[in-house]
Structure 1
Amino acid sequence: MSGTPSRPDTRATPTPAQRDAQADDDLRDACREGKLAEVKRILDTGWTNINCRGEVGMTPVIWAALGGHRDVVEHLVSRGDDVSLVDDMGNNILHWACMGGDRKTVEFVLSLDGMDINSRGERRWTPVVWAAWRGHRDVVKLLVSQDADVSLVDDDGNKILHWACLGGDRKTVEFVLSLDGVDINVRNNNGQTAADVARGRPHHQLSDLLVSRGTQ
Structure 2
Amino acid sequence: MFVLILSGPVTGKRADSQAWSQMEARRPGPTQKSDVPATTRERDTRKSGTPSRPDTRATPTPARRDARADADLCAACRAGKLAEVKRILDTGRADVNCRSVVGMTPVMRAAGWGHRDVVELLVSRGADVSLVDDDGDNVLHYACEGGYRKTVEFVLSLDGVDINSRGQRSMTPVMLAALRGHRDVVEFLVSRGADVSLVDGVGNDILHYACRGGDRKTVEFVLSLDGVDINVRNDYGETAADVARDGRHHQLSDLLVSRGTQ
TM-score, with structure 1 as normaliser? 0.93
| Aligned equivalents of 2:159, 2:236: Cα separation in 1 | 38
The match for 1:7 is none
**Is contact 1:68-1:100 (8 Å) kept?**
yes
**Is contact 2:111-2:119 (8 Å) kept?**
yes
1:166 aligns with 2:212: yes
Structure 1 residue 11, shift from structure 2 partner: 3.6
Which of 12, 27, 34 aligns to 2:59? It is 12
Instruction: Indicate the RMSD between aligned Cα atoms, in angstroms.
Output: 0.9
Structure 1 residue 19, shift from structure 2 partner: 1.5
| Aligned equivalents of 1:183, 1:117: Cα separation in 2 | 21
Report which of the two structures shows the higher radius of gyration computed on alpha carbons: 1
The match for 2:174 is 128
| Aligned equivalents of 2:159, 2:58: Cα separation in 1 | 21
Structure 1 residue 202, shift from structure 2 partner: 2.2
Structure 1 residue 81, shift from structure 2 partner: 0.9
The match for 2:136 is 90
| Aligned equivalents of 2:248, 2:106: Cα separation in 1 | 35
1:73 aligns with 2:119: yes
| Cα offsets for 1:161-212 (capped at 9, x unmatched) | 0000001111100000000121101100000000000000121111011111
Equivalenced residues, count: 206
- Where in structure 2 are there 5+ consecutive unaligned residues? 1-56
| Aligned equivalents of 1:100, 1:181: Cα separation in 2 | 25
Specify which structure has the bigger relative contact order, considering alpha-carbon pairs within 8 angstroms and separated by 6 or more residues: 2
| Cα offsets for 1:45-92 (capped at 9, x unmatched) | 111000000000000000000001000000101111111110001111
| Aligned equivalents of 1:100, 1:109: Cα separation in 2 | 13
The match for 2:29 is none
**Is contact 2:147-2:185 (8 Å) kept?**
yes
Identity among equivalent positions (%) equals 76
Which of 110, 113, 126 aligns to 2:156? It is 110
Moved over 6 A (4+): none
The match for 1:190 is 236
- Where in structure 1 are there 5+ consecutive unaligned residues? 1-9
